[in-house]
Amino acid sequence: MSGRIVIVGYHPKPGKEKELDTLTRKHYSLLKGADLVSDRTPIIMKAKNGTVVEVFEWKSDAAIEQAHTHPVVLKLWEEYAAVCEYVPVGGLEEMGNLFSTFTPFE
């Protein structure tokens, strides 16, 4: 079974930008430690409105399902819920361009 690439947008709640950045820095390594994502290096960027956009690869559909019951992932998702809203990336201003450009995540 091949992997599943996902693109997700995290828009920080007011005053929670630093906390979101911290979570984003550890997101992939936690998923990797749980053996849920591939070795493909994630791409992380920021939109003009502060939304963090992440592109990463789940190992499989089964890995996605496993994430919904994995204690480490569930705790991580709770932390994300405290600092951001998940947003569809299609609604970002940048996505209206033929070549969508973002600021690299540092």
Task: Supply the range of the domain harboring residue 58.
Answer: 4-88
Residue type present at position 9: G
102 located within any domain: no
Q: Quick one: average pLDDT of 46-66?
A: 97
The CATH number that applies at residue 82 is 3.30.70.100
Q: What is the CA radius of gyration of the chain?
A: 14
Extended strands (E) in the chain: 4-12, 43-46, 52-58, 84-87, 103-104
What confidence tens digit (pLDDT) does each residue in 17-38 have? 999 999 999 999 999 999 999 9
Query: Does residue 106 fall inside a structural domain?
Result: no
Instruction: Give a yes or no: residue 97 inside a domain.
Output: no
Tell me if 100 is assigned to some domain. Answer: no
Name the one residue in this structure whose structure tokens are 């559909």.
Answer: 61
- pLDDT band for position 106 (cuts 50, 70, 90): confident
Q: Across all residues in the chain, what is the average pLDDT?
A: 96
User: Would you state the pLDDT for residue 38?
Assistant: 96
